[in-house]
Amino acid sequence: MKKNDNFYDMIIIGAGPAGLSAGIYAARAKFKTLLIEKGEIGGQINISSVVVNYPGVIRADGKKLTEDMRKQAVNFGAGFLNAIVLDVDFSGPVKKIKTSVGDYEALGVILATGANPRTLGFPGEEEFKGHGIAYCATCDGEFFTGMDVFVVGGGYAAAEESVFLTKYAKKVTVLVREPEFTCARGVAEQVLNHPKIDVKFHTEVLETGGDSCLRWLKYQNNETGEITEYHPEGADETFGIFIFVGYAPASALFNGKVDLDRQGYILTDQNLQTNVPGVFAAGDICVKPLRQVVTAVSDGALCATNLEHYVEEMYRTLGLKRETPDADTSAHSAAASEPETSQLEQSANAPSGPSEGFVDEEMRKSLMGIFAKFSRPVTLTAFLDETGTLSLEIRQLFSDLKGLSDKLSLCLINKGEKPALEKQAAVAYYPCIALFNHVGEFTGIKFHGVPGGHEFNSFIIALYNTAGPGQPLDEPLLHRIRKVTGPVNIKIAVSLSCTFCPDVVMACQRIALENPSITAEMIDINHFPDFKNRYSIMSVPCIIINDNRTVFGSRSIEEIVKLLEEG
């Protein structure tokens, strides 16, 4: 059997705590290891602003914790690939993984795709997603400043996020179906003792409704049968409902490939091996009594350690010689056909003022490494509204980027100074940063606001994809993108605190680069309230297609292409 560059000892699908832990253990043992992640590295824990129950860590930010795990994995030689897994074939001794950027093979596979927030299905839930109903307090909490907020759920996430939401909400009411919280007593007591929180046990949502936003909520006490209908005080006021009722396993891709239980969780033995030899599962996707970061990390370590023995045996069985990856030419240098940009996200939070700067010395070195890969020039043009502080911050950003690459040109233009150029870029909101390619053509990519926070990563990836070599796409998907008829305008409403938004922005802008009839623009809705109100946006990410179709929630590039194909 002939090996190729896309052949690995182990492939880990999913880069949350379980996948990262597996990657650390596998790479440290000198196995050629690749982690494939379709979204942001770190998974669900990224939205937890405070982690206090991880042994040895008194207090940590969830994103910082997983970023450190990623760095550990990279340091040991693990590779990372940002791609969508389209299909898997576990039928033979060599496992095959088909992704949006090509096909990969491995002797062993670890499934660590985690779980996604569950919905309840009450009347009005689907209709008002993004217009008052949300599932991520970190992403959307700020939109409900000064409003009443309801939290549905009685577990750890509901309790933790209830306290977090008091930073913004006028009052938080927690609706718990059970007679008490199902999380640790200490966490529950924080909620029960909080002056801004009211808890109603034995209670569940019946339905909700409104017009462009939520206007009323009906819930019932299942013990007494009493039904309560809530209306905000003012006739034109709205409110929020945050739902935290557990997670559904992200296992649809593996249905029919490995054994699942009735709820869709993967069945494993005590060593975390599925019914298919050489295929293991770790973390929230497994049947288990406790789903926490610490158990996910434990699963990943156990999977990798057990898979090591299996892979060694397969090398002997197939008569192959295992090549131990060298520390200096580790797998990650060849694995991902895109730059190592995920490390920028942790240090790319937007500053509180332009005087602080956007690019520190460590990030400057990372950016120079990425920009050195550019194969052709690219121009960033900022159209500024001099009356706003955002324009001052963009000036600071451009100042920080100056001199990092001779292939990066920077241009600052005041509003109305060059109307022909503004018309070419179809600038409607100021300030605006537009990308132009090596021949001076507008690429269709714009950023309204300062692309800081989590969006700094999407900003850098947009430059990389414009200047080349760019992130690859598989040919069938590329063909579908180029077949979309336009003109199509995609607006992506984001918040810089949202961890899900950058992936949507990157996907939409990647599509725009491959089809000249498509434009994609990021809009930071915290700075464009008129835009936010026009579409009644109370959750991000929000995709608006041609100003008449609104879609909320995280979407992969393939899912977005499907939306465009539907018209």
pLDDT of residue 497: 81
342-566 folds as Glutaredoxin (3.40.30)
CB atoms within 10 A of CB 136: 21
The architecture of the domain spanning 133-245 is 3-Layer(bba) Sandwich (3.50)
Q: Which of 372, 394, 367 is nearest to 381 (CA)?
A: 394
CB atoms within 10 A of CB 234: 7
Helix (H/G/I), strand (E/B), else coil: 418: coil
pLDDT of residue 326: 59
The CATH 3.40.30.80 domain(s) of the chain lie at: 342-566
Place of tokens 């789903």: 291
Longest CA span, the chain: 75
Q: Alpha-carbon distance 130 to 537, whole Å? A: 6
- Do residues 503 and 454 make contact, with C-beta atoms less than 8 angstroms apart? no
Place of tokens 């969780």: 265
435-467 residue pLDDT tens: 999 999 999 999 999 998 778 989 999 999 999
**Residue 360 identity (one-letter amino acid):** D
**Residue 450 identity (one-letter amino acid):** V
pLDDT of residue 79: 93
pLDDT of residue 353: 38
pLDDT of residue 158: 94
- Do residues 110 and 300 make contact, with C-beta atoms less than 8 angstroms apart? yes
- Span 7-116+248-335: which CATH code? 3.50.50.60
The CATH 3.50.50.60 domain(s) of the chain lie at: 7-116+248-335, 133-245
Show the low-confidence residues of the chain (pLDDT under 50). Answer: 1, 327-355
